[in-house]
Amino acid sequence: MDLVIVTGLSGAGKSRAIDALEDIGYFCVDNMPPELIPTFVQLILKSKEKRDRVALVADIRLGSNFSSLFDVLGDLENMKVKYKILFIDADNEVIMRRYQETRRKHPLADEFSTPSILQAINKEREILLPARQKADYIIDTSDVTSSQFKERVANLFLDNAQSALKISVISFGFKYGAPKEADLVFDVRCLPNPFYIPELKQHTGLEEPVRNFVMKFDQSRGLEIKLLDLLDYLLPLYRTEGKSQLTIAVGCTGGKHRSVVFAELINKHLLETGANSRVYHRDIKR
C-alpha cells in the first residue's frame, strides 16, 4: 500500500491536497483520528476491493488526540506499512487573510480569552512542529496558484517511486519573496538584466531572444558551469542521506527573465542526468 498522511496548518490547503491526490487515484479520508489509522489500514489490506493508494488527513481539528499520531506511526512501522508524510504550510499573513475571507473559525480559537487568529496559528505551529520535522514532503502554498499546487502534488505522488529524490526547480522574483520551502536558493541578480533592453522587457526567459541575451555573457556561462557542477556534487549526497524531496529556487528581481533561463537550464541538465525533476515558474506572469 502507498499510504500518504497529510497534515499541516489549518487554512494552508490540506483540502486542496486531498482533492489533488484523489484526482490521481488515491482513496482519501479526511479528519481521521490517529488511533483509528492502524485498524483502518488493516481493513483496507484485507478488503476484496484492492486499494493501492490511500491518503489520510490528520490535523489539529482532532484536538489533544493529534499527539497520538506519533505513536501510531510506530505501529504502522511494526506492521511493515510504508508511509509518507505530506506537510502543508503557508505564511501566517496568508493564513490570516484566508480566514478573514472565508470567515471561518480557527480550530484553536476558543483556547484564548481574547480571540486572535494569529495566536491560534502560532499555537498550532508549535503543536505541529514535530510533524513538520518528520515530514517527507513540505509544500508551502503561500505563493502558488491552485493549478501549480495540484501539479506539485501530482509530481510528488503520481508515480510510485518510493525511494526517488523528487526535485522541484522554481524560478522566482526576489521582489515577491523567496519560496519558503526552498532547500537551495541561487541568486542570479548579478547577471545583466534583459529588463532594461526595450525589445526584451515584455518577453520572458522561455523565449529564445531573452535566453540568448542572458547567456551571451562570460559571467552567465561561468555561473552555469559552477551551478551545475555544484548540483552534480550535492545530489548524490542528498540521495545517500535519504532525502525524498529537494527544492531548488533560482531568483532574479522580477522572476521573468534571468531566473527563468537558469531554472530551465538546471532542469534540463537534471533530466539529462536521469533525475526526477520538474520546473515551475512562480512569478513569470506577474
Residue 125 has pLDDT above 90, yes or no: yes
CA dihedral 257, 259, 261, 264 (to 10 degrees): -140
Tell which residue, 45, 38, 15, 39, has the closest CA to residue 28. 15
pLDDT band at 105 (very low <50, low <70, confident <90, very high): confident
CA distance 120 to 110: 9
Residue 252 has pLDDT above 90, yes or no: yes
Question: Cβ(17)–Cβ(84) under 8 Å?
Answer: no
Q: What is the pLDDT of residue 172?
A: 97
Q: Per-residue pLDDT tens for 58-87?
A: 988 877 678 888 889 989 999 988 899 999
Q: Per-residue pLDDT tens for 233-243?
A: 999 888 777 67
The burial class, CB within 10 Å (0-12 / 13-18 / 19+), for 87 is: buried
Q: Per-residue pLDDT tens for 153-201?
A: 888 887 644 335 789 999 999 999 999 889 999 999 999 999 999 999 9
pTM over 0.95: no
- Section 215-242 average pLDDT: 92
Read off the C-alpha cell for 222.
561561468
CA distances from 272 to 232, 268, 276 (A): 12, 6, 10
Phi, psi (degrees; rounded to nearest 5) at 9: -70, 140
pLDDT band at 115 (very low <50, low <70, confident <90, very high): low
